[in-house]
Structure 1
Amino acid sequence: MDNVLEKQRSAHEDIERLEQAIVDQYMDDAKTHREKLYNEHVVDKFLTRIAEKSEYLYELYEDKDGLRQSEMEALSGSSEFSEFYERLKVIKEHHRKYPNEAVVPPEMEFIYLAQKKDESDYEELEKLFSGEESTGRYLDLNTLHTMYINLKGVKKLDYLQYLSEFDDFVTVYPKAIKTTEDYKTYLNELFQYLHSFFRRAKPLYDIAALEEEALLEFNDEWEQGKVAGWEDVDSTNHDLFCPACQKQFSKQTVFDAHLSAKKHIKAQKKLDEQGSDSSAAIGTVDNVVGVKDDKRKAIAWKERLISKYAEALADFREESKSNVERKQALTDKERTLEQEQEKVEYVDQDSDEDDDEKIYNPLKLPLGWDGKPIPYWLYKLHGLGVEYPCEICGNYVYMGRKAFDKHFQEWRHAQGMRSLGIPNTRQFHEITKIDDVLALYQKQRKEGSSAEAKADIVEEYEDAEGNVYNKKTYEDLKRQGIL
């Protein structure tokens, strides 16, 4: 039927069926993480369809072309019976034209969807995530960590530290790099990943409400100059800010004088050529705060959004850190065994109802290869509760003797030795104080000149009868033919 009233009735029916389908989906007893996530994605699709149908229904009720009003008048007027028979004639004509047309009830779509759930549906869900994300359980920031390490002037954090501090834009990221293109690219990639992870791992989370709340808070703090890390930006005097040069001037005379400089003219010309694309490199969400002309505000706004996302994903972050710590404690054999179990017995692991429950770990013991806390006796046996700080590594604390002995050959200690200008050789192992390392290095340099002379005394030789001589005595006796 082409009439408006029938379209409205059909839209209302579709919305009711979608609402019932959501209820049925939640009635399904999903026990594993994978099943719960699959249900959330299905419900998200239903909610999207409800929103589309509601928007379509709203347009019909608006009746901008007046068709609905004319139909109502025709049905309620004096010619209501003639209108009824006219529509009945149209229906009969349709069935006469298509006598054997199959009719599929609308509810069959949702019945089929409920019965269709099989392993192939879960495979489609798993394709949305990387292997490190483990179907939305953990964050995978390895690529972003590599981008972070390549930024100039930042603290060199390992992956575990990066997971804890990637959203600390005040202390971790120097102010000097925040206007560089590399930092803007990195910031945009970090924002895009967290936003995408929300849509994949928490499809029902109201991101729009989170962004709206962050926007109101950010604009208020920006106007007052209280945005963390950007307090020195004068956001109140927009008249003395040059969007082409991205500089804030303190006086009107200085601002007017710089307008005739060649550098400003060149920057202004470049800005005019780029047009509205000047802020595109930072992301389209920046436009909502009116930051097309002030890139500093765009960067600060993106940082605020990332911080809000990280705050909302705090549980995922902690789970990711625990997972990284657990994998670092695995041997190659255990890691290979774990990968094989994930491939062969994935369904059996997912069927465990305790997978999603919080593990009781009051002593904060490290996790073993099976994801459970190791026994306390093993924790004490390996001395994992003993702290070994290393000043060369930036006062990084290693838990347990094994991790401490191993770290002398790792990148953090090697980089610390390189910064001191000292080779990371075996002689400097077991030394963690900078003063001690420098003192030993200076001593070795002083003794380096007499190293060859000492070799004649230190090296020992043995004759055929088993007598032991130093190098010098042995060579003298051999030249004299005594040996």
Structure 2
Amino acid sequence: MLLEEQRFLHEDLERLEQGIADRISEEPKHIRDRLARDHQIAQFLDRISSQSSKLLTIYRDADGTRSREIQQIGSGDPMDEFHKQLAEIRSFHARYPNEPVENLERAYRPKKGPDADSQPSIVDTMFTGEEAFGRFFDLHTCHEMYLNLPNAKRLSYLQYLDSFDNFAPGAGGLKRAEKLTDQYFAYVGQLSQDLETFMRKTRPLENIDKVVADFDKEFDTAWEKGDVSDWKNEEPSAKSTSSSKQTSSSDAVWCDDCEKEFKNENVYKGHLSGKKHIRAAAERAKRLQGEPDGASSAPNEAQKGGPSPYRLKERAIAEREFRVKRLASAMSTERSDTRVNVERKQGMTERERQQELEILFSAATTASQAKDAEDGEDNDDEDKIYNPLKLPLAWDGKPIPFWLYKLHGLGVEFPCEICGNFVYMGRRAFDKHFNEARHIYGLKCLGITNTSLFRDITVIDEALRLWDRIQKEKRKDKVDDGSVVQMEDAEGNVMPEKVYYDLQKQGLL
């Protein structure tokens, strides 16, 4: 019956809402459990959307089936209608005797205990070991593709993490003409796809499609206005000695064909006869005319009023570069954490890396076993962390290894009197705090405005003495016109007092 399907959809929606509420009420400690919960909630929200669409279709009743069914139930004999529907149900189960009955009450209930351990989590196969359940990037594939690009700078993976979204000609070693290759197009597309996929996996409750659509809309607006950096439309009348590019010195000359700066005019004229310049000039001329490689005799689309093939390819590459920049800025926290993690792993042995992976995958299992213990059992002793050395806790809630504690010098105390005698553990935290708000606020309370000159100064007296010395030097260099005594000679010439007495001693007055 259509009414039974309508009732089933309403029940399904209520069960879905209750399942979402049960999962939101709990906040798992492990990042794996949190991601699994968010992905389950995202699946429930998608099912709510699809079930609501079906329910709206039934209520609209475009073909009138629901109205006829209601009229048939209300106008006929209730008992006859009941026995008729009962016969249909018996006939259905006679044809399908092993048809399972869906229990919505158990379908969306959070699974705990043995039921949860028997089923694999959604995020177990979603991330690589390098990503650590969405905490870090895994761009090794993109890094290899970048290194295989012709004329690309040989960057290490750590350097690549700092500059993978910097597409300026000098940053990645690729010029504008060198980017118009299928290999570079595949590289930029793979990079943007990996970043977008990572965002979808780590943020399942956000509308990533809308975020990407906003990025594309912003790019379309910037492209129409010509505001996309490094991809502005070149004028055919532009000369190779164009001074639109900012040079490092007044004597330097910029070559637009080679996209390279030369120290002076003589060096620039000498390279004009070289093979590289001639080839670069020919490629730039083709690009400005809108002729694709090997198809100079084909009809030029630019003459028909449309964009040239070169311009269309530039737009496709620029769009992917723009998306990579926006995605990288939106995930700046994961990017900085990835860099710190790579630096940390470079100081570890292979055995230590394997042990860390084992601890990472077993942490969630241990937490779930402690959580699903029997109600009458006292779990205080099991949950207590054995930490006799008072080591700092890592992201998983366990003490960090003692060798890492010694490596970073976390046992050394660095007090800062300017910060209110706050004690920083380790040299890294101490060096970092000079740019933080606490230290800057302490300097401003002392009347010090130029905080960049007071690095490594933690005593208030030293800071005040240095500030007084700086102020005295500024006052000494500053000339006060009102304090200069003016003198006048017999002829009416006005001059400073020092000059007057010097001329008088020389007998010139």
2:259 paired residue number:
none
Q: Distance in 1 between the 2:357 and 2:336 partners?
A: 22
Q: Distance in 2 between the 1:25 and 1:297 partners?
A: 44
1:90 paired residue number:
84
Q: Offset of 1:40 from its aligned partner? A: 0.9
Distance 1:66 1:132, change over 3 A: same
The 8 Å contact of residues 145 and 159 in structure 1, kept in 2 or not, is answered as yes
Q: Distance in 2 between the 1:222 and 1:264 partners?
A: 29
1:199 paired residue number:
200
Distance 1:82 1:300, change over 3 A: same
Write the mapping of 1:120-269 to structure 2, written as runs, cut at 5 A. 120-122=118-120, 125-170=123-168, 171-172=171-172, 173-232=174-233, 263-265=296-298
State whether structure 2 residue 313 is matched by structure 1 residue 312.
Answer: no
Query: Alignment partner for residue 410 of structure 2, among 368, 371, 375?
Result: 375
Q: Distance in 2 between the 1:36 and 1:267 partners?
A: 56
- Code of the residue aligned with 1:300 in structure 2: it is A
- Code of the residue aligned with 1:180 in structure 2: it is T
* Larger deviation, residues 93-102 vs 166-175: 93-102
Distance 1:109 1:219, change over 3 A: same
Distance 1:336 1:181, change over 3 A: same
Distance 1:63 1:303, change over 3 A: farther
* Larger deviation, residues 168-177 vs 186-195: 168-177
The 8 Å contact of residues 329 and 368 in structure 1, kept in 2 or not, is answered as no
Q: Distance in 2 between the 1:331 and 1:209 partners?
A: 43
Q: Distance in 2 between the 1:116 and 1:328 partners?
A: 39
Q: Secondary structure at the match of 1:125?
A: coil
Q: Offset of 1:324 from its aligned partner? A: 0.3
Q: Deviations over 1:88-124 (max 9, x none)?
A: 2332213544499885542121237456653454555
Q: Distance in 1 between the 2:61 and 2:334 partners?
A: 47
Q: Secondary structure at the match of 2:296?
A: helix
- Code of the residue aligned with 1:263 in structure 2: it is S
2:25 paired residue number:
27
Distance 1:9 1:337, change over 3 A: closer
Q: Secondary structure at the match of 1:203?
A: coil
State whether structure 2 residue 105 is matched by structure 1 residue 107.
Answer: yes
Q: Secondary structure at the match of 2:128?
A: coil
Q: Distance in 2 between the 1:207 and 1:347 partners?
A: 30
The 8 Å contact of residues 405 and 411 in structure 2, kept in 1 or not, is answered as no
- Code of the residue aligned with 2:208 in structure 1: it is I
Q: Secondary structure at the match of 1:91?
A: helix
The 8 Å contact of residues 139 and 316 in structure 1, kept in 2 or not, is answered as yes
Q: Secondary structure at the match of 1:188?
A: helix
1:321 paired residue number:
339
Q: Distance in 1 between the 2:296 and 2:24 partners?
A: 62
The 8 Å contact of residues 326 and 371 in structure 1, kept in 2 or not, is answered as no
2:378 paired residue number:
none
Q: Distance in 2 between the 1:246 and 1:21 partners?
A: 61
Q: Offset of 1:132 from its aligned partner? A: 0.9
Aligned-pair identity (%): 30
The 8 Å contact of residues 345 and 353 in structure 2, kept in 1 or not, is answered as yes
2:75 paired residue number:
81
2:444 paired residue number:
none
Q: Offset of 1:180 from its aligned partner? A: 0.3
* Larger deviation, residues 86-95 vs 350-359: 350-359
* Larger deviation, residues 53-62 vs 11-20: 53-62
State whether structure 2 residue 66 is matched by structure 1 residue 68.
Answer: yes
* TM-score of the superposed pair, with normalisation by structure 1: 0.58
Query: Alignment partner for residue 303 of structure 1, among 321, 330, 333?
Result: 321
- Code of the residue aligned with 1:315 in structure 2: it is T
Write the mapping of 1:454-469 to structure 2, written as runs, cut at 5 A. none
Q: Deviations over 1:74-93 (max 9, x none)?
A: 26xxx833175554233221
2:376 paired residue number:
none
Q: Offset of 1:156 from its aligned partner? A: 2.2
Q: Offset of 1:66 from its aligned partner? A: 3.2
* Larger deviation, residues 6-15 vs 220-229: 6-15
* Larger deviation, residues 198-207 vs 292-301: 292-301
Q: Secondary structure at the match of 1:140?
A: coil
Distance 1:296 1:358, change over 3 A: farther
Q: Deviations over 1:210-260 (max 9, x none)?
A: 1122122111111100012212368xxxxxxxxxx999987xxx78xx79x
The 8 Å contact of residues 137 and 335 in structure 2, kept in 1 or not, is answered as yes
Distance 1:116 1:267, change over 3 A: farther
Q: Secondary structure at the match of 1:118?
A: helix
Q: Distance in 1 between the 2:426 and 2:105 partners?
A: 61
The 8 Å contact of residues 139 and 317 in structure 1, kept in 2 or not, is answered as yes
Q: Secondary structure at the match of 2:227?
A: coil
- Code of the residue aligned with 1:194 in structure 2: it is L
Distance 1:370 1:381, change over 3 A: closer
Q: Distance in 2 between the 1:247 and 1:62 partners?
A: 62
Give aligned pairs, total.
Answer: 333
Q: Offset of 1:199 from its aligned partner? A: 2.5
Q: Deviations over 1:312-357 (max 9, x none)?
A: 2211111111110101122456445545545666745898996559
Q: Distance in 1 between the 2:158 and 2:324 partners?
A: 18
The 8 Å contact of residues 154 and 174 in structure 1, kept in 2 or not, is answered as no
